[in-house]
Structures are given as C-alpha cells and as structure tokens.
Amino acid sequence: MKLTPGQKIWFYNTGWILWISGGAWWIFHRPGLSIPWLLAIHGAAAMIFLVVFGVLIPTHIKKGRAAGKNLASGHTLIAVTVGLAVTGYGLYYSGNETLRAWTSAAHSILGLGSPLLIAWHLFFRRKRRRFRRPGL
C-alpha cells in the first residue's frame, strides 16, 4: 500500500505548493491588496492534486481500506480533501458574502491543518509497523 515514488513526488509536491500558496494568500491578502497570481497557482495546484488524489483511490486508498490499516486517519484525510474541494468550489462560485466568509474560514482551517493530518497518517503507519509482532 506504499505510494510509488511517482505518486509520492506528485502528492507531496502539489500538496506543498497548495499549502504554501494558500498560506501565503491567507497571510498577505488584505482589503485593497490583490494577489491574483497566488490564487492562480493555488487553483492550478488544486486541480493537479485532485487528479493525484483520484489516482490514489483505486491504489492506496482501496488497498488500505481492504487491509483495515490506518482507517481513522485515512478516512479523516479523505473527508478533509473532499471538504477542501467543496469549500474551494464555494469560494470560487459563491455570490453570498456571508456564506463566503464561513466557507473561507472552513477552507483555511482545513487547508492549514492538513499537514498535521498527513503527519498523523504517516506516524501511525510507522508506529504500527514498528511494533508489529512476528507472525501477525
């Protein structure tokens, strides 16, 4: 169920580009200050990331679920990825400013916290492997 080297490269590189571009926008965006190129990078990386995530569904995710490994952290990552896609769509297309403010807050919290979830997923994979008894 390990990611292939190519999957790792695409997953982590697009993930970091998303996190850095989104975090930079979150830090530097202020009323009257437009940073459209940062959002363009973020949007392009999001489209690539969703393709990469789609590739992981029949490989990594399906096999991990069948093996019953890392289910809590894996399902949380799936939910956060779907949440980010839905809130990202909402930010792009929402015309209601109240809804947009809530969507923006949810997107920021999920996005900025996503590296912690990935670390959780990786930690428990390594922890389980390290403490596995022979024959199990």
Domain ranges of the chain: 1-15+36-69, 71-130
For residue 43, what are the CA distances in angstroms to 14, 18, 37, 92, 120? 11, 8, 10, 10, 26
Amino acid at 88: G
Mean pLDDT, residues 126-135 taken together:
54
- How far is 26 from 7, CA to CA, in rounded Å? 28
In this predicted model, what pLDDT tens digit does every residue of 90-117 receive, in sequence order?
999 988 989 999 999 999 999 999 999 9
Backbone angles phi, psi at 30, to 5 degrees: -140, 155
In this predicted model, what pLDDT tens digit does every residue of 12-45 receive, in sequence order?
999 999 999 999 999 998 888 878 999 999 999 9
- How far is 120 from 74, CA to CA, in rounded Å? 9
In this predicted model, what pLDDT tens digit does every residue of 39-96 receive, in sequence order?
999 999 999 999 999 999 999 999 999 999 899 999 999 999 999 999 999 999 988 9
Give the pLDDT band of residue 2 (cuts 50, 70, 90): confident
C-beta separation of 111 from 84 below 8 A: yes
C-beta separation of 14 from 48 below 8 A: yes
Query: What is the model's pTM?
Result: 0.86
